[in-house]
Amino acid sequence: MAIPIIDLFAGPGGLGEGFSQVGWREGNPFFRIGLSVEKETFAHRTLRLRSFVRKFPYDKIPEEYFQFLKEGRPPEALFSLKKFSEQARTAENEAWNETLRNDDDFNTALDVRVRMALRGNENWVLIGGPPCQAYSVVGRSRNKGEKDYVPEKDDRHYLYQEYLRIVGVHNPAIFVMENVKGLLSSKVNGSAVFKQILQDLRAPLNGHGCRYRIFSLAIAPHSYDEPEFVDKDFVIESEKYGIPQTRHRVILLGVREDICQKGVRPSVLTEEKRISLYKILTLPELRSGISRGKYNESDWMQAVKRFPVNKLRQEIERLSDRWTMENIRDALGGLRVPSSDMGGNFVDKPPSSIKAEHLRVWYEDERIKGVFNHSARTHMESDLHRYLYASSFAKAKGRSPRMEEFPELLKPAHKNRDSGDFDDRFRVQVTGKPATTVTCHISKDGHYFIHPDPSQCRSLTVREAARIQTFPDNYFFCGNRTEQYIQVGNAVPPLLANKIALIVKKMLIEAFGDCG
């Protein structure tokens, strides 16, 4: 019997997907999601749909799933088909659209659902990441700008206590908790939040429940009996572990004391060769649209070709070199409208094969016969020119240009543009390196996530961001494009979660054998 997982603050399901993939493709899943809780409506829809998909053996995911999505039909329409009634009902029970909060009535209802999901199994796993806005460096800076903001009254600082309550009341064998790196420096009432979190998690219910030892997944302790770490030891730098993204997050591994007393010891993540962006960004080419104007392909071609080549030639060569100028000329000279145009929620042109061979099985699914969630956004004509310049610069230099390296004519009309605060306002994702961190800010304007191909003049699509986040290609994101971007940006990379899940699996087998 598969080990139950309870997933709190689940988002679109990145952590849960990583755990669920253990053995699923081979027909013998080691873990099963018993309950996932998420407050955001569209992330919940995505969770529920993926839950439905996982009710089938991997090689028997119904053809109707792929067909409905290709036709643009609401994924929920699958649930109404009589042949899938049992799977739909189970998915509805598994994915719960609720806000975790300190409320007695709600907690009573949550405890009932947890017990039902565990089915009496004491050896289960809790995963999740309490919302990070209050902890992140950017979030704290934004909060300080709010006139009436009082950190002590921001409930988001204490949402981890809802996670903590589940640990204390239900005693998971192991828990995995993820959060932003800014958690390490966050303070409330002058006290370090992270120090308090560690103390609480080691002894939930004020020490009256099960006790836990907290481990790093990056560094082995000198002593497993009394593991001691400095704060930075809990930071996982994803690019070191085969994830094509420089995403740095705090991840805690908590192990129940009785398991530790059996001599079971967690291993750490194995470092791997870094994955460059070009190895996974193999999706069909698209053109962007034009905002505040017309949208047809002829208008786009003309807008891009209005790039002031002759006017800026000398300045570009001074700021960069002649190769940047050559890249611009090549892009303009060979400019064409891609066969997939601006894309869509389904593009019927299959991607090229992943260039990292060991990742092909993880990402690709030939049953799709195309690409999901691959729609280009619209941009102002001036931004098309900035994107063309920036991606041509990156192609020549191997890095994104700083604001001071933009020609004056291409700089945005922001009064603080040269202050240094906007040095990377326009950031190209460079093909020869892992991508920078994908965050929910990608839903705003795309300036931090410019596609590296100068001839496409656009920001990354949802699917390209999902590739960077290591979501399998058959993982569909519900909602409109903005809502999809937010889900992808908030997620834990499923492939990283899968690597953590394998460590957890090994520990559970050592502790309990066939421990279902």
Q: Return the residue matching tokens 């001691």.
A: 228
Surface-to-core class of residue 100, CB atoms within 10 Å of its CB (0-12 exposed, 13-18 middle, 19+ buried): buried
How far is the C-alpha of 287 from the C-alpha of 453, rounded, in Å? Answer: 11
35 and 6 Cβ atoms separated by less than 8 Å: yes
How far is the C-alpha of 10 from the C-alpha of 131, rounded, in Å? Answer: 10
pLDDT at 295: 75
214: enclosing H helix or E strand:
strand 212-215
444 and 351 Cβ atoms separated by less than 8 Å: no
CA-derived radius of gyration, the chain? 24
pLDDT at 191: 82
Looking at domain 3-275+492-512, does it have CATH number 3.10.20.30? no
Instruction: Return the exposure string of 68-90: e unless at least 16 CB atoms fall within 10 Å of the residue's CB, then b.
Output: bbbeeeebeebbeeeebeebbee
**Cβ of 420: how many Cβ atoms within 10 Å?**
10
Pairing relation of β-strands 191-192 and 187-188?
antiparallel
342 and 288 Cβ atoms separated by less than 8 Å: yes
How far is the C-alpha of 8 from the C-alpha of 130, rounded, in Å? Answer: 8
Alpha helices in 417-480 (DSSP H): 462-468
Q: Return the residue matching tokens 């204390």.
A: 168
Please report, in tens digits, the pLDDT of each residue of the chain (516 residues total). Answer: 899 999 999 999 999 999 999 999 999 999 999 999 999 999 999 999 999 999 999 999 999 999 999 999 988 899 999 999 999 999 999 999 999 999 999 999 999 999 999 999 999 999 999 885 555 444 434 444 445 534 444 454 568 899 999 999 999 999 999 999 989 988 877 888 899 999 999 999 887 789 999 999 999 999 988 899 999 999 999 999 999 999 999 999 999 999 999 999 999 999 999 999 999 999 999 999 998 776 788 999 999 999 999 999 999 999 998 999 999 999 999 999 999 999 999 999 999 999 988 999 999 999 999 999 999 999 999 999 999 999 999 999 999 999 999 999 999 887 676 666 666 789 999 999 999 999 998 998 889 999 999 999 999 999 999 999 999 999 999 999 999 999 999 999 999 999 999 999 999 999 998 754
Q: Which residues contact 473 (CB under 8 A, 6 or more apart)?
A: 351, 363, 364, 365, 368, 371, 372, 463, 467
Give one DSSP letter per residue of 257-274, joined into a string. HHHHHTT-----PPP-PP
How far is the C-alpha of 232 from the C-alpha of 325, rounded, in Å? Answer: 43
pLDDT at 150: 46
> How many angstroms separate the Cα of 298 from the Cα of each of 138, 304, 305, 431, 504?
40, 10, 11, 28, 54
Q: Which residues contact 481 (CB under 8 A, 6 or more apart)?
A: 375, 377, 462
Q: Where in the chain is the domain with CATH 3.40.50.150?
A: 3-275+492-512
pLDDT at 38: 97
